[in-house]
Structure 1
Amino acid sequence: MSESIRHSLTIPPELAGQRLDQVLAELLSRYSRTRIKEWIDTGGVLVNGARLRPKDKVLGGERVEVDAQWPDAVAMTPEPIALERVYEDSHVLVIDKPVGLVVHPGAGNAAGTLQNALLHFDPGLSRLPRAGIVHRLDKDTSGLMVVARTVEAHTALARAIEAREVERKYEAVCAGVMTGGGTVTAPIGRHPVDRVRMAIRADGREAVTHYRVLQRFRGHTHVRLKLETGRTHQIRVHLAHIGYPLVGDRVYGGRLTLPRGATAALIEVLRGFRRQALHAARLAFEHPATGEPVVCEAPLPADMRLLLQALALDARDASRT
């Protein structure tokens, strides 16, 4: 069953002139502005007995009645899928997502997702949108994700991500030898023809990725990346845009490139690496209940360690000839 949300309040005079959704987001801070806007749009909010639009300005002194539903957004089967828990308490959960695990159901993935696993781990997450998931990783990207376990934590974490207050750092292996680090600021939007892909577009949403070199090889680079924004496929699109696509990226990576005279072992590893070489290595945020810093790190998965080892051995062997 959905949870009923009911509030009665009076808009303070000092908030006069502001948008209704802004005012309610401030007065009802446990809920996100997106959720409040949905309630206004669907008639769950009455101002002096009348429906208004989210963008309508308030005068101050109006009586507001909220009678809405917190959706039981998760109508799916819990599944006993193992989760690598890096941090947990009654408010939040941080997991190290393995390669191949889809975050939430979609076309072709009705079951076997992180969302199914979370519902098995904590049935109470069925009260929250997407079982508390507030951000996502691609199916074939490994690493850290934070999950909210309460309404308050969900709202706080969603706002922190929107305000760029959650630190997200990744490690990746890309094709090509970078000369140094830098920042990519190209905006990202949906590809105009292939709707599965994202693309650099002048009318896209702001996207900012910082990168620095960790190690160079003969034809590849091991990099660390920090996201300011979290657009779909952002790192993959940005690195491909500057000419350094991720190893194994079948969507944005193009054809496999091999260093001249690559060893048989390296060729085998590169040809067998069939997912983007990207790992969410570090996640840091302010705890939504205590305000204390939470810092989590996850080591590289075995396939990326093997890839880096093969690149290092190839570089060593080449230096000896």
Structure 2
Amino acid sequence: MQVPAELSEKRLDQAVADLLPEHSRARIQGWIKNEQLRVNGKACKPREKVRMGDSIDIDAIVSGEARWEAQQIELDILYEDEHLIVLNKPAGLVVHPAAGHASGTLVNALLNHAPELDHIPRAGVVHRLDKDTSGVMVVARSLVAHTYLVNQLQARTMGREYAAVVVGAMTGGGVVDAPIGRHPHQRKKMAVVPGGKPAITHYRLIRRYSGHTHVRCKLESGRTHQIRVHMASIRHPVVGDPVYAGRLRVPAGATEKLRATLGGFSRQALHARILTLLHPETGAEVSWEAPLPQDFVELVNALDESEAAKGTL
């Protein structure tokens, strides 16, 4: 990688930390000390200044930061090579081990499938999906890929499109440009708050129903619960969202099937459908699509049938 103009004249360790924010300053300084990180082919000291255009090369193996257990858990893999694993995550699967979820997570499954991920930060996971959000995810299988993907996320060049069913009949597409941060009173929730991190969600209508709308959402940023918070903020929360949707709302004249489907939909109706990125080795644009899961299909079918029964579809 090369030093950009805005990092010229910075200390080497600081510049690399800015370029590779997924790595700690201590780790970077260790690479420099052990001559695993070189500038223009030469060993340097952490305090030495870099200049625009300097070439930084890293030849290091990252040790696992946490001892996570590998577990035999089935994965729906859409694509894999030496740099990437692209998969379709089911609803109900937690991504990372944490308090209350020490095992049975996506990371546990990934370590069983590809043990080398123990040497990649966060086992290669560069972006998350909520436990009850389904859909396509990419995992970095090499350090080169991890850095490349993190940089794409920061530059907002990774395309992510979601399908959602929201409450209310929307009149058209639009953009929600509103900062997101921790809810001021309920710390487990996120909210649109002054001083939050910038967040932009684009939404377009796929089909409008009497009391619901099937939409596609595209992210410019990737904040926690972003689509869920943004859609709730414009009074169109995602169907089934246990945190942001509030009480169940059933449209007038709904069929019994739709009533039962809405009442039994126990997760947010949100699915990461399409992921587009630049491949870390070739630089070519590549894209993958995860089909809608069965529960989502059944929800849409119930909405279609209810509208047809009223003669409005």
Q: Same fold (TM over 0.5)?
A: yes
Structure 1 residues 167-208: Cα deviation after superposition (integer angstroms, max 9, x where no partner): 000000000000000000000001112111101111000000
Paired residue secondary structure (1:145) = strand
1:290 aligns with 2:282: yes
The reply to whether residue 275 of structure 1 matches residue 267 of structure 2 is yes
Aligned partners of 1:255, 1:190: CA distance in 2, in Å? 22
Q: CA deviation at 1:161?
A: 0.8
TM alignment of 1:301-316, pairs within 5 A: 301-316=293-308
Q: Given that residues 165 and 213 in structure 2 are in contact (C-alpha distance below 8 angstroms), is that contact kept between their aligned partners in structure 1?
A: yes
Does residue 232 (structure 1) correspond to residue 224 (structure 2)? The answer is yes
Instruction: Give the match's secondary structure for 2:151.
Output: helix
RMSD: 2.7
- Paired position in structure 2 for 1:177: 169
C-alpha separation in 2, matches of 1:192 and 1:228: 24
How far apart, CA to CA, are the structure 1 residues paired with 2:72 and 2:60?
33
3-state SS in 2 of match to 1:146: strand
> Gapped runs of 5+ residues in structure 1?
1-10
> Secondary structure at the residue paired with 1:119?
helix
* Partner secondary structure for residue 139 of structure 1: coil
Paired positions, count: 294
1:95 alignment partner AA: L
Give 1:77 shift: 1.4
| 2:116 corresponding residue in structure 1 | 124
Equivalent residue number for residue 94 of structure 1: 86
Is 1:263 aligned to 2:258, yes or no? Answer: no
1:35 aligns with 2:27: no
Alignment of 1:4-19 (within 5 A): 17-18=9-10
Counterpart Cα distance in 1 of 2:17 and 2:248: 49
Confirm or deny: 8 A CA contact 2:22 2:121 kept in the other structure: no
The reply on whether 1:114 has 2:106 as its aligned counterpart is yes
In 2: Cα distance, 1:200 partner to 1:38 partner: 35
Give the letter aligned to residue 105 of structure 1: P
- The superposition leaves residues 54-85 of structure 1 with CA deviations (integer Å, 9 ceiling, x where unpaired) of xxx9487xxx9x99983412412111111111
Q: Are 2:231 and 1:243 aligned?
A: no
2:145 is the counterpart of 1:157: no
Aligned to 1:80: 72
Q: Which amino acid in structure 2 is aligned with residue 141 of structure 1?
A: T
**If the length of structure 1 is used for normalisation, what is the TM-score?**
0.84
Alpha carbons of structure 1 residues 25 and 221: separation in structure 2 relative to 1, 3 Å: same
Query: Is residue 111–residue 117 contact of structure 2 (8 Å, CA) maintained in 1?
Result: yes
Distance 1:67 1:279 in 2: 38
Quick one: distance in 1 between partners of 2:167 and 2:150? 34
Q: Quick check: 1:319 aligned with 2:311? A: yes
Q: For 1:130 and 1:259, how far apart are their aligned partners in 2?
A: 43
Q: Report percent identity of matched pairs.
A: 51
Contact residue 246 and residue 277 of structure 1 kept, 8 A: yes
Which residue of structure 1 lines up, in the alignment, with residue 178 of structure 2?
186
Aligned to 1:8: none
Distance, in Å, in 2 between the alignment partners of 1:15 and 1:203 is 26
* Aligned positions of 1:131-146 closer than 5 A: 131-146=123-138
Match for residue 244 of structure 2? 252
Change (3 A) 1:225 1:79: same
Confirm whether residue 23 of structure 1 aligns to residue 15 of structure 2.
Answer: yes
Measured in 2, the distance between the counterparts of 1:176 and 1:102 equals 29
Q: Which residue of 1 aligns with 2:39?
A: none
Task: Find the counterpart in structure 1 of residue 205 from structure 2.
Answer: 213
Query: Is the CA contact (8 Å cut-off) linking 2:17 and 2:23 kept in structure 1?
Result: no
Distance 1:275 1:262 in 2: 20
SS in 1 for 2:123: helix
Please, which runs of 5 or more residues in structure 2 have no aligned partner?
Answer: 34-42
Matched, 1:197 2:177: no
Distance between the aligned counterparts of 2:61 and 2:141, measured in 1?
18
Instruction: Report the Cα distance in structure 2 between the residues aligned to 1:250 and 1:79, rounded to whole angstroms.
Output: 29
Q: Which amino acid in the other structure matches residue 272 of structure 1?
A: G
Contact 1:20 1:58 in 2 (8 A): yes
Q: Provide the rounded CA distance (Å) in 1 between the counterparts of 2:209 and 2:103.
A: 40
* 8 Å CA contact retained: 2:12, 2:50: no
Alpha-carbon separation, structure 2, partners of 1:125 and 1:280: 23
Output one character per residue of 1:222-268: Cα deviation in whole Å (capped at 9) or x when no partner: 00000000000000000000010000001000111111122111110
Q: Is contact 2:231–2:237 with CA below 8 Å preserved after alignment?
A: yes
Tell me by how many angstroms 1:23 deviates: 3.2
